[in-house]
Amino acid sequence: MTKLIGQRIKRNEDPRLLTGQALFVDDVNIPGMLHAAFLRSDYAHAYLRSIEVSAALNRPGVVAVITAQDMGDEWQPGPPLVSPPPTVKGVIFNSRTQVPLARDKVRHVGEPIALVIAENRYIAEDAVEDIDVDLDPIEAVVDLETALDRSAPLVHADLDSNLAAHLVQHRGDYAAARSEADLVIKRKIVIDRGAAAAMENRGIVADWDAKSEHLTVWDTTQAPIPIRNGLAQRLGLSVGQVRVIAPFMGGGFGPKMMMFYPEELLIPWVSMKLGRPVKWIEDRRENFYATTQERVQVHEAEMALNKHGRVLGVSHNFLHDSGAYDPYGLTIPLNTQSHVLGAYDIPNYYSDLKVVFTNKTLTTPIRGAGRPQGIFVVERLLDIAAKELGIDPVEIRMRNFIPPEAFPYEREIIDQAFAPLILDSGNYKPVLEKAAAMIGYERFVRDEGPRLRAEGRHVGIGIVTFIETTGVGPYEGARVTVEASGKIRVATGVGTQGQGHFTSFAQIVAEQLGVGIEDVHLVTGDTSDFHWGTGTFASRGAVVAGNAIYASTQVVREKILKLASKVLEAPEEELEIEAGQVRVADIPSLSISLGELALLANPLRGAVQPGTEPGLEATAYFGPQYGAAAFGVHAMILEVDPETMMVEIKRYVVVEDCGTILNPMILEGQIHGGVAMGIGNAYFEKLIYDENGQLLNASLADYLIPSAGEVPRIEVGHEETRSPLNPLGTKGAGEAGTIPVPALFAQALENALADLDIEILEMPLSPNRLFEILQKKEKEK
Amino acid sequence: MSDLHDVAVTVNGKKYHHAVEPRLLLSDFLRHDLRLTGTHVGCEHGVCGACTVLFDGQPVRSCLMFAIQANGHEIITVEGLGTREKLHPLQEAFWEAHGLQCGFCTPGILLTVVPFLESHPDPDENEIRQAISGNLCRCTGYQNIVDAIKLASEKMKT
Amino acid sequence: MKLEGEYTFDGPQAEVWKLIRDPEVLSTALPGTQSLEQVSENEYQGDMNLRIGPVAGVFSGKIIVSDEVPPESCRLTVEGKGKPGFVNGTGDVQLIAQDDGKTLMKYAGEVQIGGRLASVGQRLIDTASKSIISQGLDTLNRALQARVAAQVTGKEVEYTPPSESEFAASVAKDMAAGAFSASRMVWIGIAILIIVLIVVLVFISRGGN
């Protein structure tokens, strides 16, 4: 069997992408297609008094203007997507989901108020400006910490307060641990908002064909199957009448998950009403207002340690900003809760979570999804403790790691899957040792750092660790078919946004079936090809879909060998599959091609024997028992320019253990991109809201995503601790690059500015903000 | 409705005559009127570089130009570089070096780099990073893009 | 957003007060004003059409004047709405007579901006507002000097206000020299627009009463 899993193999999808031949949603063009534009709220919080649309309707080229009133009984809030955890006692969860068009009140800037359909986008946008809307502003809930005050205005007037959820989780007895501790570190840690800012904005094309009673939707979604299911339900159709296609996508990073954005319902709905195809493409400013965001949390965290640096317990009360609605449940803060213990064996834990409604854009997972916040908290507290105790940062981490023999390791809390959090496997120490060796940690601390500091330079080193729970259920499936051409067709339900699924999944199939990578034709994200599954998120594609593909390929392989054994009159054990041929190992001339076998398996005459299925095809599913926990270490050396406060990253090292590697080239690409986003999260990207809930930097000119000048070369090392939970032994890696970067930045900055003795307890920073922190420190002195 | 104006433009060697509104953006003209959808639009305000095309050989942001400005000029889009069967050496290098993930920003980067490599046949890493600093990519962290451009410069020398 | 500043007029307090109550002078000082109507004793409505650089838009504004103490001070409440967004604000204006016959104007206000106007970034608005306010006040000051001179000579002194494009060009020049010359920003004009609006509405309101 030619080994393909684990090889650097060029991607199948690239020639299409490189020549401009890949289909993105905005490339869909249907004769007679109309174009949509939205009127959105300029206010964060206001009563909607009246809307006057006649001027818009009278504009030549305008076909329809839709308001909430026009939807009648079909106006309904969106479905809750992730319900609250049923397994935790005393949980409070107030479900308030987004509405298609605001009816009596707007709750965040950018909330849609009216939908205009016109012959082209230019006319539609003109007509949006013709609409006269009377909004009567009320005080906006913006600040997370005062949102729960009795005097705060209410985002949802039918609730007693702005509390969206409350949940307490604990393990052991933190109070007892604290009373025995030699050292207690207590800090307030604040993380602010950021955007996913995928290069492609969202877009939807819907085409209702009245004669065939069939709806086709092209959608920039990471989860086409749940969107198909939801649309069918909301539009009164059978799932067989709805086809959702997630074509090539210009990045997802979380917000393109199964959100049921208002537009996602409205565009198909209006296509059915008008009997015409309708396209809506989000513009960049809408993307900043109307596409979900993440990261805002305020933490009051405490760590109790003994004098040897062993952590006895962590206590953690935090506020999570849900924005105006909470369709995505508690996924983000549950991830924070389950990552605040990092990679460490911490026996006592107490965590109190309050989720808060505010008059800001909704928050749902973005690459990292609550984990960067959790890791930031634990790594910061450890760094501060290490300093207090005079222990080296690397050493204190070594002392607290979960030892390899303790796996599977039970955290005794529940995670985002509402199941007990169990870390399946890991061997952390060698990963940290490797990273420390790669960056030259000891040499830097001993010689280089002191020498550079003596020269008056502000150069610092950082090294942090993280875990990532990946590959959560419930399940994915795949169908693998050998076609008469000898090519293999693979269909799976997950969408793809650049992760290289066309290649890594093909590697799994090609290795088992003895064909070339280019002979595997993969279809993802088209509900007409495969319609069971959930989607691409939570670093689960390679784990859950990958193993489903592996399982169905195994069945197909068995079918191939069984049929070939009959045809070639040789026992199955003596057969091998190579280069698209099944042959008898000792007699290579005795062979038959996969294509011929496929024909024989689907005969036009004769009979298929009872109890067998036609064709060389199999469908199989994989649902992991629980998620697989990846681990990694990031290290860097950076220099701060004391004049400009700009940082130059001189070295950046990542050592990653995500189990079996399917394609190291693709994995490293995922890590590079993740780190780049993490650098943005740490030092460049912050969504700035004013006290009225206005977003002040809603353009890529003001919201700075890192460019080629800001992202350093990244050196990647690997360890492979196979997950015992799936046959391939894979763990997810899609978010790993992003998770520890803010924590790493904080440690390295403190080290670079050691003479100034600052503490970094917030993210994101910026040159400006670092300057302010230093100024404040100066004043204190 | 505004008056229509004639635009005669050569795109990827092919001549087109269209009547367009004066406010029609060049990016929309290429994508929707000419159906050359390889040119992507990421920000509509000249920051991200995804819509970069060659205008008389120079890289321009097609979202910041009107179609009528292209009257009498020559444009090259990603569709004019190479085909799936016969890739341009720069496209080949991006494939080999894994210089793309979602591929959305890639056409703009390719067209920024084509004239850059003509003026810098042997660029170093700093020059490459500067050359693409006006093109945003959210997937790759740029490293493999830099490597791909370096690889392309070697391919194009031989 | 807070707007705050001072300006010295080369003329006496009473003349400055009169001047800024004259809608005609004001509409020429900041071109683009289309209409100005008094809808009740202390309430005015105005429309203005602005074209600065690439940005054009019609704004409708409502102004309420209160706490008026002629010729010293008043409070203004402004509600403006236009295609690129909205502006709501209150401001206090004070005129203080100086020993040398000049008049010091102090203004301080709190302005809420929303929609596309807000999203282009606070840092631009700061730079733009300084420039536009000083340009507008300079123009008014020239009108004041012309009036004062006319009183002395008993003859009309010719005063030519800047055209819309001259005004915009001056502001753009100041902006280009400002801190963000290297920024990626393209929509500078929008920021300028908002500031012009604020200033115009403030002046219109005081002129109309």
Query: pLDDT of A333-344, one tens digit each?
Result: 999 999 999 999
Q: What is the pLDDT of residue C40?
A: 80
How far apart, in Å, are the Cα atoms of C141 and each of A602, C32, C71? 93, 19, 17
Kindly state the helix (H) or strand (E) to which residue A459 belongs, with its residue range.
strand A459-470
Quote the CA–CA distance of A356 and A333 in Å, as a whole number. 11
* Contact flag B64-C186 (C-beta cutoff 8 Å): yes
Per-residue pLDDT, averaged over B23-39, amounts to 97
Taking the CA of residue B111 and the nearest CA in chain C, the distance in Å comes to 20
Chain C contact probe: residue of A702, A704, A705 with most C CBs at under 10 A = A702
Q: Say yes or no for a CB contact (<8 Å) between A15 and B81.
A: no
* Nearest chain C Cα distance for residue A702, angstroms: 7
Which residue on chain B is closest to C187 by alpha carbon?
Answer: B45
A42, A289, A696 member nearest C85 (Cβ): A42
Give the pair of three-digit tokens for residue A422.
């169990």
Decide if A24 and B50 are in contact by the 8 Å CB cutoff: no
| Cα–Cα distance for residue pair A137/A42, rounded to 1 Å | 10
ipTM over 0.85: yes
Question: Which chains neighbour C (Cβ–Cβ under 8 Å, 3 or more pairs)?
Answer: A, B
Q: Which two tokens stand for residue A648?
A: 């130059």
Task: Please tell me whether residue A139 adopts helix, strand or coil conformation.
Answer: coil
Q: Do B100 and A22 touch (CB under 8 A)?
A: no
Out of A288, A694, A698, the one facing C113 most closely (by C-beta) is A694
Strand partners, A482: A488, A616
Say if B46 is an interface residue toward chain C (CB within 8 Å).
Answer: yes
A709 touches chain B (CB under 8 A): yes
Q: Give the range among A63-67, A401-405, C13-17, C28-32 with minimum mean pLDDT.
A: C28-32
User: Two tokens at B136?
Assistant: 């945003």
CB contact A700 to B (< 8 Å): yes
Q: Which residue has the higher pLDDT, A187 or C92?
A: A187
User: For residues B22 and B13, what is the distance between their CA atoms, to the nearest angstrom?
Assistant: 24
The alpha-carbon gap from A702 to the nearest alpha carbon of chain B, in Å, equals: 10
Residue A407 is encoded by which pair of tokens?
A: 């796996």
Cβ contact (<8 Å) for C184 and A698?
no
The answer to whether the CB atoms of C119 and A43 lie below 8 A apart is: no
Taking the C-alpha atoms of residue A167 and residue C185, their distance in angstroms, rounded to an integer, is 44
HEC per residue, A168-236: EEEECCHHHHHHHCCEEEEEEEEECCEECCCCCCCEEEEEEECCCCEEEEEECCCCHHHHHHHHHHHHC
Alpha-helix residue ranges (DSSP H) falling in A571-663:
594-600
> Would you call B136 an interface residue with chain C, using a CB distance cutoff of 8 Å?
no
Which of C185, C186, C187, C190 to probe the B interface (max B CBs under 10 A)?
C186
SS3 A313: strand
Tokens of A350: 């107490």
Q: Which region among A38-52, A490-504, B79-93 has the lowest average model confidence (pLDDT)? A: A490-504
Q: Which amino acid is at C5?
A: G
Identify which of A679, A686, A685, A644 has the alpha carbon closest to the alpha carbon of residue A774. Answer: A644
Q: Cβ contacts (< 8 Å) between B47 and chain C: which residues?
A: 184, 186
Q: What is the pLDDT of residue C208?
A: 33
By CA distance, what is A676's nearest residue in B? B141
Q: Can you tell me which residue has the tokens 């009036």?
A: C147
pLDDT band for A493, please (50, 70, 90 cuts).
confident
Q: What is the mean pLDDT of chain A?
A: 94
Separation between Cα atoms, residue C30 and residue C21, nearest integer Å: 14
C-chain residues near A697 (CB < 8 A): 119, 121
**Lowest mean pLDDT segment, chosen from A117-131, A593-607, A651-665:** A593-607
Residue A539 CA to residue A426 CA, distance in Å, equals: 17
Interface test with A, best of C110, C117, C119 (most A CBs within 10 A): C119
Q: Which residue of B has its CA nearest to C186?
A: B45
| Cβ neighbour number for residue B142 with a 10 Å cutoff | 29
Strand C55-69 relative to strand A203-209: parallel, antiparallel, unpaired? unpaired
Mean pLDDT, residues A754-768: 95
Contact B81 A19 (CB under 8 A): yes
Q: Which is more confidently placed, A500 or A460?
A: A460
Give me the pLDDT at residue A128, please.
Answer: 96
Residue A324: other Cβ atoms inside 10 A: 26
Give the global pTM.
0.91
In B, minimum Cα distance to A713 occurs at B143
Beta strands in A579-625 (DSSP E): 581-584, 587-593, 616-622
When CB atoms are compared, the residue of A19, A675, A709 closest to B129 is A709
> Considering CB atoms only, which of A18, A24, A675 is closest to B87?
A18
Q: Is there a contact between B46 and C187 if contact means CB atoms under 8 Å apart?
A: no
CA distances from A92 to A162, A320, A556 (A): 12, 14, 48
Of all residues in chain A, what percent carry a pLDDT higher than 70?
Answer: 99
- Judged against a pLDDT cut of 60, whether residue C30 lies above it is answered with no
Q: Do B46 and C186 touch (CB under 8 A)?
A: yes
Q: What pLDDT band is residue C120 in, cutting at 50, 70 and 90?
A: low
Domains in chain A: ranges and CATH: 14-19+473-622 (3.30.365.10), 32-138+201-249+256-290 (3.90.1170.50), 391-472+626-780 (3.30.365.10)
Min Cα distance B45 → chain C (Å) is 7
Give the model's pLDDT for residue C171. Answer: 60
Above 90 in pLDDT, residue B100? yes
The token duo for C55 is 């940005």
Give the one of B42, B91, B133 whose C-beta lies nearest to A200's C-beta: B42
Residue C59 has pLDDT above 80, yes or no: no
Tens of pLDDT, residue by residue over A674-718, are: 999 999 999 999 999 999 999 989 999 889 999 999 999 999 999
Sheet containing A581-584: order of strands: A575-578, A581-584, A587-593
Contact A42 C183 (CB under 8 A): no
d(CA A376, CA A190): 10
**Cβ pair A18:B95 closer than 8 A:** yes
Cβ neighbourhood burial of B90 (10 Å; 0-12, 13-18, 19+): buried
In this complex, the residue of A288, A692, A701 whose CB is nearest that of residue C112 is A692
The pLDDT-based confidence of C207 (bands split at 50, 70, 90) is very low
Mind listing the domains of chain B with CATH numbers?
5-80 (3.10.20.30), 89-157 (1.10.150.120)
List pLDDT tens digits, range A91-146: 999 999 999 999 999 999 999 999 999 999 999 999 999 999 999 999 999 999 99
List the 48-87 stretch of B: residues with Cβ below 8 A of C: 64
- Most C CBs within 10 Å: which of A109, A694, A700, as the mutation test of the C interface? A694
pLDDT of the residue at C156: 63
User: How far, in Å, are A3, A42, A288 from residue A194 at the CA level?
Assistant: 41, 20, 10
A775 Cβ partners below 8 Å, 6+ apart? none
Average pLDDT over residues A486-513: 91
Question: Which residue of C119, C124, C184, C187 is the best one to mutate when testing the B interface, meaning the one whose CB has the most B CBs within 10 A?
Answer: C184
Is the Cβ pair C118, A694 closer than 8 Å? yes
For residue C187, the distance in angstroms to the closest alpha carbon of chain B comes to: 8
